[in-house]
Chains A and B, each alone.
Chain A
Amino acid sequence: MSIMRNIYLTLVALFLIGPIVVITSVSFNSKNFLSFPPKGFSFRWFVEIFANEEWFSALSYSIIIAFLSALLAVVTALPVAYAAWRYGIRYAKALLSLGIAPFILPPVIMALAFLLFFTTSGMYGWFVSVIISHTIFLLALPLVTISLGLESIDRSLLEASSTLGADDKIAFRTVILPLALPYVIAGFAFCFVLSLNEYIIALMTVGFTYETLPIKIFNAIRYGYTPVIASIAVLFLVINVVIFGLIARFGNLPRMLGALED
């Protein structure tokens, strides 16, 4: 029984990690063509991401879009989650559910909705269009993490602060925000990572004016193989691991994922 169990666990672990191992080793290949096991060892495909103007501009667009849309999503989500938790305003709760909806649907639906909206309003292909679209699409993430963070706050702290003469604003600034901050940052990080990796919405809003990295990779795959893609896959995985590692280090990851009871 325990041998079976170990074989099974190893197979699943291999299935999850195997492709990443192959990609990583391919990305250090010194040759221009695909081969595994790789021939030689070099960092040239990692240098290429930054040295090649096209890949670098795609990377820059993706990072700027991810940063701004994550920021906007957090700023939009915070008052909604706060009003729903603090005052139990029914309208805020409805707004919260509505804000989560775009993320639940298959992304192509929202992508098409944004395409129609921005062509109708004359904003198709504008840089700001993809930022707005990602903000709306990923709004669910800070809404959920911030709500979780607020729910973990002991409400008697609010009474204590009001007894000590703090009004709502001071209580928010000095009590609530510091306690909820790890969850706010986590919401930002989730948004940032998912925006960086998002393809279809970016394609339908700015696909022909600003080539983000996922769009550029897809176009490159269709015209054949280039080892730069492997190095980008490794770079992205490292970015994802570092960001989620930081959340795990400074926040409570199992709680954020709903594993612990209060």
Chain B
Amino acid sequence: MSNQTSSLSFGRILTLVPPSVAIGIFFLVPFTLILLTSVAHQQQSGDFVFGFDLAHYQRFFSSVFIERALFSAALSGTIAVLSLLIAFPFTYALTRFSRRTRTLWLVYILAQLSLSEVLIAFSWQILFSRTAGISNIAVWLGLLEKSFAMAPSALAVLVGLVYLALPFAVLLLFPALSRLDRSQIEASFTLGASPLRTFFTVVLPASRPALISGGVTVFVLTLGAIIVPQVLGHPSHWTLSVMITDQAIYNSNMPFAAALAVVLLIMSGSVIGLVGWLSREGNK
């Protein structure tokens, strides 16, 4: 009997060996490599040797790159707020559509969410172009005399990023708003509360955790955006992710790219951690 149990649990462990090896070798090792490379010595030849050299972090703090990091954080925060503001009422309405309409919308939103950032940047490049863009509609309506190119510009970057983030915001709010207890809302109305008051006293508190997790997800997602800032913006709109790609691929400065990646890791990790901690405190 005991023999059978031990062979059984051995079998249970055995199936976990291949996934452990895969995750260990192809996630933990590369991940550690980033940390090690960020403190490696960069050599004249363009190669690097492992060691302990904080020069890349010093370079980060004493250069334009820290500005890029702060810009990325501010941009991501803005996009998180904007996309939640747009997504919240829309998702609320979505949960009240008929089952069929709701499913159609969910399928479309998932399809848009999965669409390559490259294709989204391309689509908005066309919409902001002089020859085929939105400004042509304004000309056609007689609002403008001549069509003009609306990208690259800060507005184009904002619109492109909100478009990228909106499906995520909708899908993250969707579960909480679907589960919203409708009897509470009706009770609030029965007791004479205005729709606005009902929204702030019933709907908003009940969906706070979803708003927080949605905000964090959009924040981290925007931190990772690479194509939209390059295609729709000026170099002054480039995010840290763009700079990392630039350093790694076009400047072949791996240690500096790795140091920037560690900064990005700390930025996203601390936001995820902080918000997780805040929401736990809030539930106490």
Scan residues 231-264 of chain B and give those whose CB is less than 8 A from a CB of chain A.
231, 241, 244-245, 248-249, 254, 257-258, 261, 264
Establish whether residues A76 and B122, one from each chain, have CB atoms under 8 Å apart when the complex forms.
no
Which residues on A sit within 8 Å (CB–CB) of B27? 98-99, 101-102, 136
Given the known interface contacts A76-B19, A168-B8, the answer about A19 and B123 at a Cβ–Cβ threshold of 8 Å is yes
A interface, by DSSP: helix, strand, loop or mixed?
A: helix
Encode A40-71 as 1/0 by CB contact (under 8 A) with B.
Answer: 00000000000000000000000000000000
Given the known interface contacts A79-B15, A233-B119, the answer about A193 and B114 at a Cβ–Cβ threshold of 8 Å is yes
Scan residues 165-193 of chain A and give those whose CB is less than 8 A from a CB of chain B.
168, 193
Q: Which of B54-62, B172-180, B184-192 contacts A (4 or more CB under 8 A)?
A: B172-180
A144 to chain B, nearest CB (A): 13
Encode A112-126 as 1/0 by CB contact (under 8 A) with B.
Answer: 111111001000000
A182 to B46, CA, bound (A): 50
A194 to B111, CA, bound (A): 10
Which residues on A sit within 8 Å (CB–CB) of B34? 109, 112-113, 116
Which residues on B sit within 8 Å (CB–CB) of A95? 16, 19-20, 23
A197 to B113, CA, bound (A): 10
B198 to chain A, nearest CB (A): 13
How many residues in A have their beta carbons less than 8 Å from beta carbons of B? 86
A91 to B27, CA, bound (A): 17
B131 to chain A, nearest CB (A): 5
Given the known interface contacts A79-B18, A236-B119, A253-B106, the answer about A89 and B227 at a Cβ–Cβ threshold of 8 Å is no
Establish whether residues A98 and B23, one from each chain, have CB atoms under 8 Å apart when the complex forms.
yes
B155 within 8 A of A: no
B277 within 8 A of A: no
Closest B residue to A35 by CB, please name it: B132
B154 within 8 A of A: no
A206 within 8 A of B: no
